[in-house]
Amino acid sequence: MFPEPAAFNIEIKDQKFTSDKGLKFPRTASITILSKEGHHESVIDFGYLDVNEIFELIHKGDSLQLDHCYIDAFSLIDYREKYNIEIKEDIRIQNFSARSSFFNCKASIDLVHAEFEGDVSFEDAYFARGDLNLHASKIIGGGLNFTHARLPDGAFNLSNLIVEKGDISFKNAVFGTGSKDFQDAECGAGDLIFTNVDFGDGDVSFINTKFGDGNVSFKIARFGTGKVDFHYAKFREGNISFERTDFGDGRVDFRTAEFANGRVNFNRAIFGDGDVSFEASELKEGKISFKRTVFGNGILDFELAEYDHADVSFDRAIFDVGIVSFHNTKFKSLSLQSCHFDHYLDLRVAKCGHIDLSDTIVRDIIDLMPYDNDLDIGTIDFSGMRLIGRIYIDWTKNRVKKLIRRQKETSNRSKAEQFRTLKENFSVTGQYNDEDKSYLEFKRLESIAILEESVKKNPISALWQYPIYWFKLIIFDWVGHYATNPVRVIISMLVMYAVFSVMFMLLILFTSSDIVSSVGDPDKLNVVVKSFYHCAITFLTIGYGDYYPSGFIRWFSSIVGFSGLVMVSYFTVAFVRKILR
Does a structural domain hold residue 491? yes
Give alpha helix (H) positions in 430-485. 432-457, 462-472
pLDDT band with cut points at 50, 70 and 90 for residue 4: low
pLDDT of residue 353: 95
pLDDT band with cut points at 50, 70 and 90 for residue 107: confident
Q: Taking a C-beta distance cutoff of 8 angstroms, is the pair 167, 193 a contact?
A: yes
pLDDT of residue 287: 93
Do 504 and 453 sit in the same domain of this protein?
no
Does a structural domain hold residue 446? yes
Q: Taking a C-beta distance cutoff of 8 angstroms, is the pair 313, 286 a contact?
A: no
d(CA 171, CA 217): 9
Q: Which amino acid is at 172?
A: N
d(CA 183, CA 162): 11
pLDDT band with cut points at 50, 70 and 90 for residue 43: confident
Does a structural domain hold residue 85? no
pLDDT of residue 37: 63
Domain-terminating residue out of 427, 445, 473? 473
Does a structural domain hold residue 93? no
Give tens-digit pLDDT for 273-321.
899 999 999 998 889 999 999 998 889 999 999 999 999 999 999 998 7
pLDDT band with cut points at 50, 70 and 90 for residue 39: low
Does a structural domain hold residue 458? yes
Q: Hey, how many other C-beta atoms are within 10 angstroms of the C-beta on 376?
A: 12
Task: Name, in order, each residue with C-beta under 8 angstroms of 238's C-beta and a sequence gap of 6 or more.
Answer: 191, 211, 212, 213, 214, 215, 216, 262
Q: How far is CA 456 from the centre of its chain?
A: 37
Q: What secondary structure does DSSP assign to 260-289, as a single string?
A: -SSEEE-TT-B--SS-EE-TT-EE-SEEEE
Give tens-digit pLDDT for 445-472.
999 999 999 999 999 999 999 999 999 9
Give tens-digit pLDDT for 219-229.
999 999 999 99
pLDDT of residue 3: 62
d(CA 420, CA 360): 15
Do 527 and 504 sit in the same domain of this protein?
yes
Do 569 and 494 sit in the same domain of this protein?
yes
Q: Pick the closest to residue 506 from 516, 517, 514, 495 (CA basis).
A: 514
Tell me the residue ranges of DSSP E strands in 418-544. 514-517
Region 74-91: mean pLDDT is: 89
Domain-terminating residue out of 436, 451, 473? 473
Q: State which H helix or E strand residue 322 sits in.
A: none
Q: Is 80 helix (H, G, I), strand (E, B) or coil?
A: helix
Q: Which amino acid is at 126?
A: Y
Do 464 and 521 sit in the same domain of this protein?
no
180-181/282-283 β-pairing: unpaired
CATH of the domain at 498: 1.10.287.70
Does a structural domain hold residue 266? no
Do 518 and 561 sit in the same domain of this protein?
yes
Q: Taking a C-beta distance cutoff of 8 angstroms, is the pair 141, 118 a contact?
A: yes
Q: Is 341 helix (H, G, I), strand (E, B) or coil?
A: strand
pLDDT above 70: residue 420: yes
d(CA 191, CA 206): 16
Does a structural domain hold residue 503? yes
pLDDT above 60: residue 1: no
pLDDT of residue 108: 84
Backbone angles phi, psi at 200, to 5 degrees: 65, -170
pLDDT above 90: residue 520: no
Give tens-digit pLDDT for 243-271.
999 999 999 999 999 998 878 999 999 99
Backbone angles phi, psi at 487, to 5 degrees: -65, -40
Q: What is the mean pLDDT of the chain?
A: 91
Give the global pTM: 0.86
Do 520 and 555 sit in the same domain of this protein?
yes
Long-range contacts made by residues 466-473, C-beta under 8 angstroms, separation at least 24? 472/447, 473/447
pLDDT above 90: residue 503: yes
pLDDT of residue 145: 96
Burial of residue 269 (CB within 10 Å: 0-12, 13-18, 19+) is buried
Region 123-140: mean pLDDT is: 91
Q: Hey, how many other C-beta atoms are within 10 angstroms of the C-beta on 89?
A: 9
Do 532 and 571 sit in the same domain of this protein?
yes
pLDDT of residue 402: 96
Which segment of 325-339, 387-401, 487-501, 521-535 scores lowest on mean pLDDT?
521-535
pLDDT of residue 175: 93
Do 466 and 490 sit in the same domain of this protein?
no
pLDDT of residue 6: 60
The β-bridge partners of 288 are 264, 312
d(CA 548, CA 225): 92
pLDDT band with cut points at 50, 70 and 90 for residue 21: confident
d(CA 334, CA 378): 11
d(CA 59, CA 54): 9
Q: Pick the closest to residue 258 from 218, 217, 207 (CA basis).
A: 207
d(CA 129, CA 123): 17
Q: What secondary structure does DSSP assign to 471-486, as a single string?
A: HHIIIIIITTTTTT-H
DSSP 167: -
- Number of structural domains (the chain) is 2
Q: Which domain holds residue 509?
A: 486-580
Domain-terminating residue out of 449, 473, 497? 473
Does a structural domain hold residue 103? no
Do 460 and 525 sit in the same domain of this protein?
no
Task: Name, in order, each residue with C-beta under 8 angstroms of 60's C-beta and a sequence gap of 6 or more.
Answer: none
Do 492 and 570 sit in the same domain of this protein?
yes
Give tens-digit pLDDT for 168-178.
999 999 998 88
